[in-house]
Homo-oligomer: A and B are copies of this chain.
Amino acid sequence: MTFDAAVVRKDFPIFETETRGKRLVYLDSANTSQKPRQVLDRITQFYETENANVHRAVYELSEKATAAYEGARAACARFIGAPAPRSVVFTRGTTESINLIRFTWARQNVREGDEILITEMEHHSNLIPWQLFVQETGSILRHLPIDDDGRLRTDLLEEYVTEKTKLVSLSLMSNVLGTINPVRTIADAAHAVGAKVLVDAAQAAPHLRFDVNDLDADFLAYSSHKMCGPTGAGVLWGREELLEEMPPFHGGGEMIREVWADRATWNEIPYKFEAGTPNLAQAVGMGAAVDYLEGLGMEAVREHELELTRYALERLESIGATIYGPRELHDRGGVVSFNVEGVHPHDMSTIVDQEGVCIRAGHHCAQPLMRRLGVPATARASFYIYNTPEDVDVLIEAVEKSKGWFA
């Protein structure tokens, strides 16, 4: 049971605009997604009928705002199978969620000589926080290698997950290779040595159905803007008992209980981690995005994207493009990185833009992975619910054109 992408496309006002005088072929959803009317309307409705600060005030408007905000939290918890809304902390996005763990749980639990394990395919957002952390604490950062197909070398787990490992932080789906990682296998290995597992679900949440219990994750981060929601919102989910134990991150209003001049006590979770006025309307919009995606059905989303990916891989290979990442579709999402002999990806991106095609060119916030792949940059097309096979056709034609220029 899938949906008609041409119909879904009508929910997204941006497709009523043109780019460079051409039909907009947006193939950069792994970077940020477009937003359906339903989400935009919900945000406007919030500001027009419910806007007030939450939790703190007694009047009806503030109660409405609080109900909307907490309702969004419940939706974001449900979406990832989290047992309780209180285990969901609202952040600005995945990057902030990961940094929050760096400044709280990790500071409390990872010491000099301890190891943090990430992978060779991580986004800078799941790499730089740990580089900084190990520099600050004298702990050690290790990288689980990938094979030439762009899959994690789980055969090396025994070597990389050791008694010293305190945290394994990895993406559920790669933003460059499209690989869907065997998080459960890795979590089992991590838990066997008492390490915790942080899952970067920035790419997975928009496209896959998953459940924090099945993954056996300890923390999980995802962003609103990549899944039809507004910018400026994201989630850090954590096991309740871990969140309870963690020190606060930012200090400020709302995260406190009692305050004296020189000390304070903390509010209960998740509020302990939400200092200051939260990103209210953005959280509400993220909740609406969850509702929208659940309305389509995440299985249907996945199926639709698999079809597009199959078609895109086939057509790209037929024009001789080099593909980075798994060629088979199993455990692979709708992100396709590629290069075409003789055309630098930046040139390609500029040229296909003339045909209305938005693709990304560059290092995709994964410079070490680019080095591993032996290329300075790649082009990348990524698919979402509003893309159609026609979009792939336009892409291929545009890529052919760019080849023509350099022929």
Contact = CB atoms under 8 A, between A and B. Distances in A.
Interface in A84-107: 92-96, 98-99, 102-103
Q: Max chain B CB contacts within 10 Å: which of A124, A350, A361?
A: A124
B367 A124 contact: no
Interface string A365-405: 10110010000000000000000000000000000000000
Interface stretch (A28-36, A75-83, A302-310, A316-324): A28-36
Interface residues of A, number: 94
A96 B349 contact: no
Interface stretch (A147-155, A165-173, A270-278, A327-335): A270-278
A230 B281 contact: yes
A259 B368 contact: yes
Interface stretch (A189-197, A203-211, A352-360): A352-360
Interface in A21-51: 24, 26, 28, 31-32, 34-35, 40, 43-44, 47-49, 51
Contacts of A258: 367
Contacts of A129: 250-252
Interface in A199-229: 223, 225
B353 A58 contact: yes
A143 interface: yes
B230 A93 contact: no
A310 to B, nearest CB: 25
Contacts of A312: none
A32 B59 contact: no
B92 A276 contact: yes
A14 B48 contact: yes
A19 interface: yes
A353 B59 CA distance: 5
B131 A263 contact: yes
Interface string A135-153: 0000001010000000000
A158 interface: no
Contact of A60 (B14, B143, B353): B353
A179 interface: no
A252 B98 contact: yes
A71 interface: no
Q: Which 3 pairs show the lowest CB-CB distances between chains A and B?
A: A95-B276, A128-B251, A232-B279
Given A96-B276, A125-B252, A128-B259, 8 more contacts: A24-B61, A58-B360, A124-B251, A124-B253, A127-B259, A131-B251, A232-B281, A252-B365
13 contacts: A14-B48, A28-B57, A31-B53, A34-B51, A92-B276, A96-B275, A123-B253, A127-B251, A225-B280, A230-B281, A254-B365, A261-B368, A279-B279
Interface of A: 13-14, 16-17, 19-20, 24, 26, 28, 31-32, 34-35, 40, 43-44, 47-49, 51-53, 56-62, 92-96, 98-99, 102-103, 120, 123-125, 127-132, 141, 143, 223, 225, 230-233, 248-256, 258-264, 275-282, 346, 349-350, 353, 357-362, 365, 367-368, 371
